[in-house]
A and B are shown apart, each in its own frame.
Chain A
Amino acid sequence: GAVVSQHPSRVICKSGTSVKIECRSLDFQATTMFWYRQFPKQSLMLMATSNEGSKATYEQGVEKDKFLINHASLTLSTLTVTSAHPEDSSFYICSASRPVGDTDTQYFGPGTRLTVL
């Protein structure tokens, strides 16, 4: 159990276009999903926390108008990178949390590699 999928796995786009990434919890309902960005050989950097039915909470320095997050249901969250530029090229990973005992455990999606030309 606790499977999280992400789509697409890879995307290449031109500068100025928008890209949507989907994150789904396949076998459980996730009230909270998280979006991370990971640059090569670096750690995961939390971008935002997404709760179903409410606005996402963005980390300091992350532009909410550039990285649009929608959490439409308990199993789906989307991240849209608007007006993408080469510096947005990165590995984007989502996670979904599920209670395990008295703690919420995060399960990660397989990631989306975004390349902006």
Chain B
Amino acid sequence: GENVEQHPSTLSVQEGDSAVIKCTYSDSASNYFPWYKQELGKRPQLIIDIRSNVGEKKDQRIAVTLNKTAKHFSLHITETQPEDSAVYFCAAVPTSGQKLVFGTGTRLLVSP
């Protein structure tokens, strides 16, 4: 089955810096890769996603890139703000079903 690895587990940056979180997946047939942001004690919220027929997608300060050959995808946050502090999860959806396979999460801390 699909396996998703995520790095780093924690990431501390200064306000205004960029943050990059990387994920790799094992199932080459996976075709959908969402990213979720989860604040402490709250629900995961979809912040951006990318499908396998696209290499890059951007939404204001957030971008995601996908390298199908290498089977990895990354989340890029520019001009970070303290409210970006949260746990970020990547996920992959194998074509075999609808299930989300989550990465282990990255705790991002943006210091003012």
Contacts and interface: CB of A to CB of B under 8 A. Distances in A.
Interface of A: 4, 32, 34, 42-44, 46, 49, 91, 93, 95, 97, 101-111, 113
Contacts of B103: 43
B86 to A, nearest CB: 13
Given A43-B89, A44-B89, A106 B43 contact: no
Main secondary structure of the interface of B (DSSP, over half): loop
B49 A105 contact: yes
B4 to A, nearest CB: 9
Contacts of B104: 42-43
Main secondary structure of the interface of A (DSSP, over half): strand
Interface string B20-43: 000000000001101010000111
B98 interface: yes
Interface residues of B, number: 22
Contacts of A104: 93, 98
B58 interface: no
A103 B97 CA distance: 11
Contacts of B43: 4, 93, 108-111
B98 A97 contact: yes
Interface in B60-109: 89, 93, 97-100, 102-105
